[in-house]
Amino acid sequence: MRAIRRFTVRTVLPTELAALGELVHNLRWSWHPETLDLFAEVDADLWEQVGHDPVALLGAVTPARLAELAADRRFLRRLADAADDLREYITSPRWYQTLPDGARAIAYFSPEFGIAAALPQYSGGLGILAGDHLKAASDLGVPILAVGLLYRHGYFTQSLSPEGWQLEHYPSLDPGGLPLSLLKEPDGTPVKIRLGLPDERVLHAQVWVAQVGRVPLLLLDSDVADNDNAARDITDRLYGGGTDHRLMQELLLGVGGVRAIRAYCRVTGHPEPEVFHTNEGHAGFLGLERIRELTEARLTFDEALEAVRAGTVFTTHTPVPAGIDRFPVELIERHFGGSASWPTVPVERILALGAEADPGRFNMAVMGMRLAQRVNGVSQLHGEVSREMFKDLWPGFDLDEVPIGSITNGVHAPTWVGRELMELAGRELPTLLERARGWEGIQKLSDADLWEIRGVLRRRLVEGARARLRRSWRERGASDAELGWIDDALDPDVLTIGFARRVPSYKRLTLMLRDQRRLTELLLDPDKPVQIVIAGKAHPADEGGKKLIQQIVKFADQADVRHRIVFLPDYDMALGQLMTQGCDVWLNNPLRPLEASGTSGMKSALNGGLNLSIRDGWWDEWYDGTNGWAIPTADGVSDPDRRDELEASALYDLIEHEVSDRFYDRAFDGLPRRWLEMVKHTLASLGPKVLAGRMLRDYVVDLYTPAARSARALSADAYAPAKAFAAWRVRVTRAWPGVRVEHVEASGAGDTDTPEVGASIEVHATVALGDLEPGDVLVQAAYGKVGPHDELVHPSYGKMACQSVDDDGRAHYTGVVPLDRTGAFGYTVRVVPDHPLVATTAELGLIAVPEEPVGMTNGTLR
């Protein structure tokens, strides 16, 4: 018989062990080895049985063992020390507290968070990045308040059928068995969030809190008795259900998330956020809820929009339109119209925020960008791709000026770096961990020590892989008698390549199978063998991705190679840690430029692994020629099969002639000196760049602090600046059709036949301002290199001064253009709106240029 309801009965700890509960319910233990050691001491065998899950440990430990611990003075001293250390970590000033003018608090919204395997609320890179973001924020003292959803079935667990087909399972998760606490009112009743739905239905949600070091993570849960069955299932699983289900999740995350923040701050006294960070478009509705709050406080929609935009940061993570959530316009109208409408937020204005080229679709990323004054991609290359992808939102501006910047992702070293390496760094290079300095000192580490640790990590991976492989084969129906070969699967002394990630087609899981004969030769080489460990999940609805997994599994099942190549099901954080620590080489071969950033290769690099990757995402930015290998790309080859063939051949060549040669090139003492030289260079060159701490500092300095200043500026004096700025924007937008560059002429060196570099020309422009004033606009001379179609390539801009204004509104401007480069040179004039509160010249998406190109100097500047 099956239980009709499942719940967790928590252990009542003796008074002497109360601090143990405090440690368990702060997820800092997930990156703090000393606390994990303490948990292991509670019951070492049980700790292994529960998969290093502290909540499960306390749920399974016997009262007799707890009584023993309560009387163990040595354990109690260690427990008191750990609790004191946690309290000091949470309360002591850190890096952020030394900064002037920082935001009081930052709200960080994401649909998924990868904090620890014991809290399975993530599917892949987006969630793992979000988890590392919170951990780094905690370490640096950045006052983030995070918001997500609590999925009662998580994403899914993965197994394989006898035929190698991916099977999905959705285990039920009881919040009582997770490191969570229910947010309650002062009277002890659970805090409830309410959202109006169509047909006069109401969605209720309670709020669970996961404490991630110093950072509270609020997780909204719709599985409450107040809801009907359909509403209870809204938070059933991550990225599950159809279009309407997905929209309901995103409404709860965005709108409900803001309401959860308000309730949390009210109940706990936590400062209200000044900055709201939208991690991808899934949470974009948070901006609408904030507009609703302000319009109900007597601001107009336009005034509220400006106030909201000023304090909002939007991060895009996808390099392809297919990765963006888009909903039918009719569905948005239904959820924001009729009985579910907000009186002060017209549905027409909502639809305009998400409008895209297809009039029948509402685009969540487009809405997110229109609701944020600051937008960024997650690597330099991804920033370029995003500017191209969204350029139509800022028509008339060059790609370089599309206001989408980039902050390259990073990873949280204490979570992902092997303990042995962390301890070696702590002994030999203390400033590396304490102040993130001294990376050049890596060169002083002993080759023998480094190689010994790499061997320990590789052996741990091999042992863990064998255990997972045996479990997988048993689930596929094999008997123990058939599995003796697994005892010799993989070899702790063989060059080990790792490949683990989600399995969409563009990541090309099966590129390595392009020439199976050649791959087999590499695996079985008698002198320089290679072994490959593979993991990854395909989305349950992605039949193509499942076929790719099946192809890999069928190859890895073959008796002649199965000891050298394995597919490990159920890729999660624990397996990710095992692989990124234990692999010598991290393989990544996406179709360039479709990898927004990627972070698993960063984790491998911090563990002394070397990257073997297509130059995409972060690797395009930081590959220096000697810190790994770049797989050549067949750019310009339009036939996908031909491209795969060329890039697979290049991959085989690199493994055979460079990677393997260097790994097996041993000195008299058995050490691969040239390999270790690359490892040290990788650690020294990439270490300070790939850290999540560097990423968080970039967000604070470049985005959070400027956004906080903007938000304060617009909200001062009862939002008087927001009201004035909104009125200015409306006035300028309406008057812009009357703005024209009517005439441009030049004098100076440009009049000669042979202008020389270092000279300058004086540019004069007549601009019709229509109903605007000179103070409303910025007139610029744009100049620089001229391309084959007379276009300016990466131009520079110089401000032109207003000399006079005629009675008819025509203004006369003068500026100087320096002839600062040789070759084909040109210039033109443009007009853009100008106001102290705009963040970029392209912010309003308005520009006026001459109807015909002017000022082209097509001769060669000498």
Q: Give 225-252 pLDDT, tens digit per residue.
A: 999 999 999 999 998 888 999 999 999 9
Q: Would you state the torsion angle of the CA atoms of residues 84, 86, 92, 93, taken in this order, to the nearest 10 degrees?
A: 160
Query: What is the pLDDT at residue 861?
Result: 39
Is 854 a residue whose pLDDT tops 70? no
Give the CA diameter of the chain. 97
**Tens of pLDDT along 259-298?**
999 999 999 999 999 999 999 999 999 999 999 999 999 9
Instruction: Say what angle helices 286-296 and 257-268 make with each other, to 10 degrees.
Output: 60
Residue 98 vs residues 90, 216, 312, 746: alpha-carbon distances, Å: 16, 21, 23, 51
Query: What is the pLDDT at residue 858?
Result: 43
Among residues 796, 756, 768, 777, the alpha carbon closest in space to that of 841 is found at: 777
Q: Which residues of 649-665 are buried (b: 16+ CB within 10 A; e: fewer)?
A: ebbbebbbeebbebbee
d(Cα 507, Cα 594) in Å, to the nearest integer? 8
The mean pLDDT value for 336-350 works out to 93
Is 138 a residue whose pLDDT tops 50? yes
d(Cα 691, Cα 585) in Å, to the nearest integer? 19
Residue 52 vs residues 10, 134, 413, 694, 852: alpha-carbon distances, Å: 17, 21, 19, 29, 69
d(Cα 584, Cα 609) in Å, to the nearest integer? 5
Query: What is the pLDDT at residue 431?
Result: 75
Among residues 795, 770, 797, the alpha carbon closest in space to that of 784 is found at: 795
Decide: 722 and 711 in contact? Cβ < 8 Å.
Answer: no
For 739, the token pair is 């703005």
Burial classification of residue 801, based on how many CB atoms lie within 10 Å of its CB (0-12 exposed, 13-18 middle, 19 or more buried):
exposed
The torsion angles phi and psi of 363, rounded to 5 degrees, stand at: -100, 120
d(Cα 130, Cα 110) in Å, to the nearest integer? 7
Q: How confident is the model at residue 432 (pLDDT cuts 50, 70, 90)?
A: confident
Q: Helix (H, G, I), strand (E, B), or coil: what is residue 320? A: coil
- Residue at 269: amino acid letter: G
Is 104 a residue whose pLDDT tops 80? yes
Q: How confident is the model at residue 853 (pLDDT cuts 50, 70, 90)?
A: low
Q: How confident is the model at residue 804 (pLDDT cuts 50, 70, 90)?
A: very high
- Least confident window among 384-398, 453-467, 723-737, 842-856: 842-856
The mean pLDDT value for 407-435 works out to 88
Distance, first Cα to last Cα, the chain: 89
Is 857 a residue whose pLDDT tops 90? no
d(Cα 379, Cα 384) in Å, to the nearest integer? 9
Name the residue with tokens 């048993």.
474
**Tens of pLDDT along 528-541?**
999 999 999 999 99
Residue 354 vs residues 28, 329, 839: alpha-carbon distances, Å: 38, 9, 21
Burial classification of residue 239, based on how many CB atoms lie within 10 Å of its CB (0-12 exposed, 13-18 middle, 19 or more buried):
middle
Torsion sign (Cα): 492, 584, 441, 95:
negative
Query: What is the pLDDT at residue 11?
Result: 75
- Least confident window among 214-223, 684-693, 818-827: 818-827
H/E segment holding residue 714: helix 705-735
**Tens of pLDDT along 577-621?**
999 999 999 999 999 999 999 999 999 999 999 999 999 999 999
* pTM of the complete model: 0.95
Q: How confident is the model at residue 856 (pLDDT cuts 50, 70, 90)?
A: very low
Strand 181-182 relative to strand 275-279: parallel, antiparallel, unpaired? unpaired
Query: What is the pLDDT at residue 433?
Result: 61
H/E segment holding residue 363: strand 361-363
Is 10 a residue whose pLDDT tops 80? no
Query: What is the pLDDT at residue 859?
Result: 42
Question: What's the whole-number average pLDDT of the chain?
Answer: 94
In the chain, the percentage of residues whose pLDDT exceeds 90 is 87
Q: What is the DSSP letter of 570?
A: S
Q: How confident is the model at residue 8 (pLDDT cuts 50, 70, 90)?
A: low
Q: Helix (H, G, I), strand (E, B), or coil: what is residue 764? A: strand
Q: In which region does residue 241 sit, left (phi positive, over 0), alpha (psi from -120 to 50) or beta (all else)? A: left
Q: Helix (H, G, I), strand (E, B), or coil: what is residue 617? A: helix
For 519, the token pair is 């791959």
